[in-house]
Structure 1
């Protein structure tokens, strides 16, 4: 089941600061809903453990996150895949772009695609889509608060 989620967030910080935060595992770990662990394996690869509840299913996903198409400080593509045992799997990515909004603010735009399978996919597209949009919104608003203070 494939989903597309788009949005934007205005962050009260200059582009360079937002770019640095997008590459900082400590900031990302705090912003990712349900993230238990996020560690850098290389400058473009991270390992993650995320616990999510989607409808009646609560699952722990072990996954990999890779940064691609790096264009500092204007954006990148983030791709990830997580396996949640019997709950199923989730994989997807997002194109993230940054644009200055005056001297001390940044507009972060994202276009994310996600694909889920297994038990989670049986919950129905409306529940998965609303949960995915909520999680993406939570991530970007928390990220904006952390970076923009």
Structure 2
């Protein structure tokens, strides 16, 4: 399954680049991510819990970064094993470009599954993969640039403050 899209992020390219290499940001953005450790140089180890159709599994896997052109592009490649559920692997070629509002992030994703997951059929798998990619990049955009305009600083639950953007957390540290 292949898909591609682009999103506009209201942050400088250097900030978006650093966020792509941050295990904290990646953990926050990967749907169902329970743990993320490692570094951009050595790769990341991750544990992700996901339900695909009737199959729920805990995937343990690794993410590596390759084809790095500093500040411009990289390839994220991951593979996870979900025990009896099977496996998932794929990659995303990510490119960054300056735009009027900040940074244009373009991604080209290729994903494959095997085992019980593959038996669910391509319609379910393709829909799930598109949803996961869209959730990851939408969450990445939110984490890097902060809440969208019009969202208050008070969270919906108990008046807790909304999370600061990754950049604001970095600056205030």
Q: Provide the residue aligned with 1:127 in structure 2.
A: 124
Question: What does residue range 2-81 of structure 1 map to in structure 2 within 5 Å?
Answer: 3-40=1-38, 43-81=41-79
Query: 1:113 and 1:42, CA in 2 relative to 1: closer, same or farther beyond 3 A?
Result: closer
- 2:31 is paired with a residue whose SS is coil
Equivalent in the alignment of 2:170: none
Task: Report which of the two has the higher share of strand.
Answer: 1
SS of residue in 2 equivalent to 1:132: helix
> Partner of 1:65: helix, strand, or coil?
strand
Could you say which residue in structure 2 is the equivalent of 1:97? 95
8 Å contact kept, 1:44–1:68: no
Q: Which ranges of structure 1 fall in alignment gaps of 5 or more residues?
A: none
Q: Report the Cα distance in structure 2 between the residues aligned to 1:28 and 1:86, rounded to whole angstroms.
A: 26
Q: Name the CA distance, whole Å, in 2 between partners of 1:50 and 1:37.
A: 7
Where relative contact order (Cα < 8 A, 6+ residues apart) is larger, the structure is 1
TM-score, normalised via structure 2 length: 0.82
Count the aligned residue pairs. Answer: 146
Aligned structure 1 segments of 4 or more residues deviating by more than 3 angstroms: none
CA contact (8 A) 1:76 1:95 kept: yes
> Which consecutive unaligned segments of at least 5 residues does structure 2 have?
147-173
The DSSP-based 3-state class of the residue aligned with 1:7 is strand
CA shift for structure 1 position 43: 1.9
Alignment root-mean-square deviation, CA: 1.0
CA distance in 1, matches of 2:26, 2:73: 15
Give yes or no for contact 1:41–1:47 (8 Å, CA) kept in 2: no
2:136 corresponds to: 139
